[in-house]
A and B are shown apart, each in its own frame.
Chain A
Amino acid sequence: MSAGKVTDGRIDVFIDGEKVRCPPGTNLIDLVEGMGKEIPHYCYHPKLSVSGNCRMCLVELGTPAMDRETGKPVLDEDGAPKIMYFPNPVIACATRLTSGMRVRTQSAKVRECREAVLEFLLINHPLDCPICDQAGECLLQEFATDYGRGYSRFIEKKVVKPKRTVLGPRVMLDDERCILCSRCVRFCQEVVEDDVLGFVDRGTYTTLTCYPGKQLENNYSLNTVDICPVGALTSRDFRFRMRVWFLKETPSICTESSVGVNTLVGSREGKVYRITPRRNDGVNDTWMSDSGRALYKRIEDENRLIDFRVNRLPVRPEDALSEALRRLQGDKVAFVGSGQSSVEEHFLFNCLSRAAGSVLNCLVSRTREGDGFLISNDANPNVRGALCLGFIDTLPEANLTGLAEKINRGEVDAVVVHNEDLTTAGIGRSLLEKVEVIYLGSHGNGASETASVVIPGLTVFEKSGTFINQQFRLQKFLQAVPGPPGVLDDLVTISRLLNLLGKDEGRLATPAAVWAVLSRRLKCFEGISFDTLPETGALLDGSAFRSLPFCEGPSLHFEPETGTVEARA
C-alpha cells in the first residue's frame, strides 16, 4: 500500500530518502542512530523522559496529507502520496514515527538550525576546554566541530555564574559550562527518585543547584556526571587526574553484587583511573552505582598480596606451588571457593578439588540489603557460576559450620582457600591453627595470615573471564591492566597445580581454552565460546536451580521467582 502499512505491524518511513521499516511510535533519534547515522542532541537521553529543550535535534518532518472527507491519503499527479512538510522544524526527540513520515536530517534548513543552536549555546559558554575535564568526550566540542560556525559573532560580556559548586560528596558543578539540558535533574527525579536538583533564576541566568539543605549524595550521583553532555558536572574523584583521550576503555563487569552491572574500565599505562557504566538494556541500562565505581581502588590496596610465601617466608613461585601440591596430596583436604571467582576459576578449582579428593567443597555467602535497583542482596557476583559448574549444589553459607565440625573432628587437615577470609566465616583462628591453609588470593586477610602457603592472585581488573549474574546471564569481563609483576593469573596457578597432579585440565590456562572444554562438557554452556560471547552477555537456562532459596529481591531488570521468595520466607 502506498501509505506504507505492512502486515507485520511495522511501518515504512523515509529518512533522507532512504526507506526504513520500524514499529510504529519508534523514537526518531533512536531509529536514526540504529541506521548508523546521527541526529545531534543534548537533552535527549534514551533512558529519561523527553524534555525537548536543547533544540539541537531539529529536523524537517513531513507526513502524508490526508483527505479530511475520506480519511485517505491525498495523491499527487504521479499517484504517490502527497507529503506535507511542517512549516517549522520539529524536534526529533519528541517525534514518534507514523506510517509514511518523511524526515530530512541533512537539509540546508536543518544545518542552519544546528549552527544557530550551537552559536547560542556557545555565546555564554566559558570556552575553557584546555582546563575542562570533559574535553575529549564533550558533546559541545564535538557538535561545534561537526555542525558549528567555527567563529564567534558575540562580543558582549558573558554571563558570570558560580564555579566549583560542591553538589555532593562526589559531584562538582561548574554552572558556567552548564547548558541547562536538565538531564541530571530528570535522572534524579525519574531514575533514583531522589529529587535534589533543580534550576533557580530565569532565562540565561538560570542556575543548576541543590534544594536548600539537600545534597546530591545518593549512591547513583555519579551517573549525572556521565550523562552531563558538557563539563558542568564532574567527578570529584576523577577530575584533573587524566585526559580522557589517553584512557583505554576495557569492557568489564562490576563485582559489587549479583546484578552484574556492565562497565567500562578506563586505564592508562597499567593504571585504572575510573569506571563508567556500559549500556546493557537487559541489566543496568546506562547506570551504575557510585560504590561500584570506587572498586578500582582495591587494586592498589595496602593489603594487596604480591609475594609467594611458604610459612610466611617469601619463596619462588614454583616452590610455593610444590609446597601446595604436597599438602594437596593428603586425603583430608577441603576446598573453600569464592563467589567472586570467575566461571573459569570455578571450573578449574572444581577440577582441582576432585583431583585432590576433596572431603568438602564450600562457598562463603556475602549478603546485605540491596537497594532494589542495581545492588542486590547478594554481594557475590558469581554464586551461580559455582552452582552451574557443580562446585557446590546448595547455596553458600555465611558460617561454614560443616567445615568447622570436620576440622574439630579431625576429618580435615588442609584447606584450599580462594580469596575468602575464613576467620569471618565461622572458622576462628584457633580452628585454623589445627589445619594447613593454602591461600590463593589477591588481598591479605585472616586466612592468609595463618596460611602455610600463600599464592597471590589478580583482581577482576587484571584478568579476563566470565560471571553469571542473578538472571543467569553469562557476562564477559576483559583484562584492563596488568597485574603486579610476578603475580600469576589465578587460572595459571590452578592449572599448574592440576598439571602437577597429572590432570588433562592442566593445560587450560586461559578463559578461551577453558571454554573450548566447557562448551562441550556442560549442557547449559553448549555452543558458547569465550571470544564470541556477545557484549550484552548470554542468558543461560537456570531452571535446574529454580528451587534454591536465593536471597534476591527485585532489581532494575530482575524479578525474583515467587517460589524463591516463599522459600526464603
Chain B
Amino acid sequence: MAAERKILLQHADEAYYSPGILNYLAQGGYEGLKKALKQKPEDLRQEVLRSGLRGRGGAGFSCGLKWSLVDRKSGKPIYLICNCDESEPGTFKDRQLVHKDPHQVIEGMMIAAYANDVVQAFIYIREEMPLGAKILQGAIEEARSMGFVGENICHSGFSCDIVVHRGAGAYICGEETGLIESMEGKRPYPRIKPPYFPAVLGLYQCPTIVNNVETLCNIVHIVRLGGEAYARIGRHGNTGTRIWCVSGMVQNPGYFEIETLTMKELLYDLCGGPLPGRKFTGIIPGGASMKILKVDDNFRNRDGRAIGFEDIIIDFDGIQAAGSMSGSAGMIVLDDSVNIIEALANIIAFFAHETCGQCTPCREGSYWARNILARMCSGGAREEDVALLYDLAGNIGGRTVCPMGYSITWPVRSYIDKFRDQFEANAGSNTCGVESFSERLIEK
C-alpha cells in the first residue's frame, strides 16, 4: 500500500499545529535560514543546483539554473517574487502551504533572497485568497519581530524585507511577466521575451527571480538536508516530493505529498479509486490547461517502454513521456459519468474568460472555441464543427506572447484526438435545427 511522504506538509495537518511562529520554531523552524546565513550565497546557489530542484509552478524549469541566469553585473537591485497567484483550475497546493505553514514560505524566501543578494522580496498573492494574505502578513510581522525578516537578519548583516502584494483577480497574473506588470500597477499583459526575461529585465526593469510557493518551501529542506541528500528523494531529474491535488471523480479527493508513485498507487491507494459503479475515462494531469490522458490508451515510460495507464509514474518525466505535462500538479479525474464535450466546454469557457486579450489568436480564438463548444453542448453542433474547432485551436498555441495560447490548443486538440467518437456522435445529433447556420456560410 503506497503512502505519502510528507516533507513540506510534515506538520501542516498535525493536530494542534497552527500557523504561529512558536509552533514553527518548535519544529526546528528558521534553522535552515540560520544555517544558510553562515554560508556564502554562491555556495547556496550551487547547493540548489545540485539538489536538482525543478520549479513547481508549471513549467518544471530547473530552479538552480533559473537563479544562475540572474544578471548580477548590471548594478541594479535584484528582486525576488514569490508567485502565489495559484489560479490553474484543479490546483490548491500553495493555498495549503500558505494557510497552514506560512513561516516555511517565509523561511524559503529569505534563504532564496540571501542566496541571490536580493534587496527586496515580494509575495504576489491572488485576490481570491484574502485569508492567505492576512496570514502571510501576520507571519511576516512575527518573523520581523524575531529578526528573521527585515534589517540585519539573525545578526548576519543581511537585510531584506517582504511585501505582500495582492492581485486583482486574473489567471494571467500567474505568468511571471504578467505578474510583474501587475505588480508595477499595469494590466497584466505578459511581456515579450526577448528582451524582457525577468532574470535581466524584470520588476521595474531590474533582474528578478519569480519562484512558486512550493519551490521556495523546498529550498528550506534543501538547505536543511543538503543538496545531495535532497537529490536522493524522488527519481533522477525529478527530485524531491511534490504535492499533487487530486479533484474530480475519485472517492477521496485532496492534496497528497508524494515521492514517486504510479497512477494506480495515487488514484487507488491514496484516492480510493473511482466512485461506486463508475470507471475512470480520462485524467487531466497538471491543471485544466494540460492535455488529457485517456485511461484506455497505451502509454510509454521515459525509457520508451510501453506501459498501461496505471503504471504511469507521476512526476515531471513520467507524465511527459505519457504525452502530457505535470503542470501545476492539479490532477482532475474524469469518469464515465462525465460528458467529455461538456468538460471541454467548461474548461475553454474558463480560458476564454481569463485570456488577457493582448494577442490576437488567444483573445479571439478562445472566444470562438467557447462559442462553438457552447453550441455543441446545446444541440447546435454542425458536422463541420469538429474539424473547425480542431483547426482553429491549432492556430493559437505557440503563436502568442505567453504560453497561455496552449491552454486552448492542448485541451481542444487532445480531447478531440482521444475522444473523437464522442465529438462526431454529438455533431451528428444536432437537435435544434441549426442547418440554417450553414446556409449563412458564404462558401456554401
Chain A interface (Cβ within 8 Å of chain B)? 50-56, 58, 87-89, 91, 94, 96, 112-113, 116-117, 119-121, 123-124, 151-157, 159, 179-180, 198-199, 201-206
Contacts and interface: CB of A to CB of B under 8 A. Distances in A.
A156 B364 CA distance: 12
A155 B360 contact: no
A199 B368 contact: no
Contacts, number: 108
B372 interface: yes
A204 B371 contact: no
Given A52-B401, A123-B368, 16 more contacts: A53-B358, A54-B359, A54-B360, A87-B398, A94-B192, A116-B395, A120-B360, A121-B364, A152-B442, A153-B441, A156-B371, A198-B187, A201-B357, A202-B170, A203-B355, A204-B357
B352 A156 contact: no
Contacts of A96: 194
Contact of A53 (B366, B401, B440, B442): B401
A120 B393 CA distance: 11
26 contacts: A53-B359, A54-B359, A55-B360, A88-B399, A94-B194, A96-B194, A112-B395, A116-B361, A117-B395, A119-B392, A120-B360, A123-B364, A123-B367, A124-B364, A151-B442, A156-B371, A157-B371, A180-B363, A199-B357, A202-B354, A202-B356, A203-B354, A204-B366, A205-B357, A206-B357, A206-B363
Contacts of B399: 55, 58, 88-89, 113, 116-117
Given A120-B364, A155-B441, A199 B187 contact: yes
A152 B364 CA distance: 14
Contacts of B68: none
B192 A203 contact: no
Given A52-B401, A113-B399, A116-B395, A156 B360 contact: no
The 4 A-B residue pairs with the shortest CB-CB distance, nearest first, are A116-B395, A120-B364, A156-B371, A88-B398
B400 A55 contact: yes
Nearest to B398: A88
Contact of A155 (B195, B392, B437): B437
Contacts of B365: 120
B224 interface: no
Nearest to A207: B357
Interface in B421-444: 437-438, 440-443
Contacts of A121: 360, 364
A156 to B, nearest CB: 4
Contacts of B388: 153
A88 B401 CA distance: 11
Given A52-B192, A91-B192, A203 B356 contact: yes
Interface residues of B, number: 38
A117 B360 contact: yes
A132 B355 CA distance: 29
B92 interface: no
Given A180-B363, A204-B363, A206-B363, A154 B357 contact: no
B357 A180 contact: yes
A117 B392 CA distance: 10
A203 B392 CA distance: 17
A89 B395 CA distance: 11
Nearest to A51: B192
A180 B401 CA distance: 15
Contacts of A58: 399
Contacts of A199: 187, 357
Contacts of A53: 189, 358-360, 401
A159 B367 contact: yes
B311 to A, nearest CB: 30
Nearest to B170: A202
Contact of B368 (A89, A113, A154): A154
A58 B359 CA distance: 12
B353 interface: yes
Nearest to B195: A94
Interface string B177-198: 0000000000101001011000
Contacts of B372: 156
A186 to B, nearest CB: 12
Interface of B: 170, 187, 189, 192, 194-195, 352-361, 363-368, 371-372, 375, 388, 392, 395, 398-401, 437-438, 440-443
A204 B367 contact: yes
A198 B395 CA distance: 28
A315 B402 CA distance: 75
Contacts of A201: 357
Contacts of A119: 392, 395
Contacts of A152: 441-442
Contacts of B441: 151-153, 155
A87 B395 CA distance: 14
B223 to A, nearest CB: 30
A180 B358 CA distance: 7
Nearest to B356: A202
A159 B353 CA distance: 13
A204 B359 contact: no
Contacts of B437: 155
A124 B437 CA distance: 17
B440 A155 contact: yes
Q: Which of B192, B371, B440, B441 has the most CB of A within 10 A?
A: B192
A510 B10 CA distance: 93
Contacts of A156: 368, 371-372, 375
A516 B368 CA distance: 65
Contacts of A198: 187
Nearest to A149: B443
B401 A120 contact: no
Nearest to A159: B367
B60 to A, nearest CB: 18
A128 to B, nearest CB: 17
Nearest to B193: A94
B361 A117 contact: yes
A91 B405 CA distance: 15
B368 A203 contact: no
Nearest to B401: A52
Nearest to B444: A151
A120 B392 CA distance: 9
Nearest to A52: B192
Contacts of A51: 192
A201 B355 CA distance: 11
Q: Which of B352, B353, B361, B401 has the most CB of A within 10 A?
A: B361
A51 B177 CA distance: 13
B367 A124 contact: yes
Contacts of A88: 398-399
A205 B170 CA distance: 15
Q: Which of B360, B388, B440, B441 has the most CB of A within 10 A?
A: B360
A179 B372 CA distance: 22
A94 B395 CA distance: 20
Contacts of A123: 364, 367-368
Nearest to A153: B388
Nearest to B367: A204
Contact of B361 (A55, A94, A154, A179): A55
Nearest to A88: B398
A24 to B, nearest CB: 14
A204 B192 contact: no
A151 B442 CA distance: 6
A152 B400 CA distance: 22
A372 to B, nearest CB: 26
B411 to A, nearest CB: 17
Contact of B357 (A52, A155, A202): A202
B389 to A, nearest CB: 10
Contacts of B392: 116, 119, 153
Nearest to A53: B358
Nearest to B365: A120
A81 B223 CA distance: 45
Given A53-B189, A94-B192, A120 B443 contact: no
A203 B353 contact: yes
A180 B357 CA distance: 8
Contacts of A87: 398
